[in-house]
Amino acid sequence: MKVIITYGTFDLIHTGHINLLRRAKKLGDHLIVGLSTDQFNSLKGKKAYYSFEQRKSVLEAIRYVDEVIPENTWEQKIQDVQKHNVDVFVMGDDWEGKFDFLQDHCEIVYLPRTVGISTTKIKTDLNQANNG
Ligand code: C2G
């Protein structure tokens, strides 16, 4: 069984996330998502709209996602890859090169981001719509 892993906040799920998850799943048989906890998000300087539990239940409802584990630190990736026998690590290419330290442990694939959509854009557009 070919195991794939990817990581992220996945807040306000949108087609950019779905495109990433679909392409990641297509690379193997079992897709694990390392979902950023609320504490880790503050380390990333991010504040998710939805809590970890809410974002987790949304992800678990997506057909491409087989398993969700918490992402608490930057450093846990190597142990995650070993613990879950991961074959391929996948991220959007805004992270190109940032995780190449994993190359001794698994294949690394950076996929093109979906252009024109992001959680930040959703929040900005909604704020502008509501504030006239
Ligand atoms: N993504 C994408 N296209 C978009 C938006 C996001 O392909 N338009 C991808 C990102 O490249 C990432 C995944 O969707 O691979 C999740 O995006 P975020 O939730 O923004 O995750 P991020 O904050 O980048 O956290 O340790 C890694 C970090 O946890 C990644």
Q: What is the mean pLDDT of residues 79-87?
A: 98
What is the pLDDT, as a whole number, of residue 67? Answer: 98
DSSP state of 64: T
Predicted TM-score of the model (pTM): 0.97
Atom of ligand 1 nearest to the CA of 112: 7
Atom number in ligand 1 closest to CA 6: 15
Is residue 2 among the annotated active site residues?
A: no
Measure 9 CA to ligand 1 centroid, in angstroms.
7
Residue 132 pLDDT more than 80?
Answer: no
Q: How far apart are CA 69 and CA 11, in angstroms?
A: 15
Specify the 3-state DSSP secondary structure of 78. Answer: helix
Rounded mean pLDDT of the chain?
A: 97
Q: Model confidence over 65-78: pLDDT tens digits? A: 999 999 999 999 99
CA of 24: how far to CAs of 14, 43, 44, in Å? 16, 25, 23
Ligand 1 atom 10, closest CA: 92
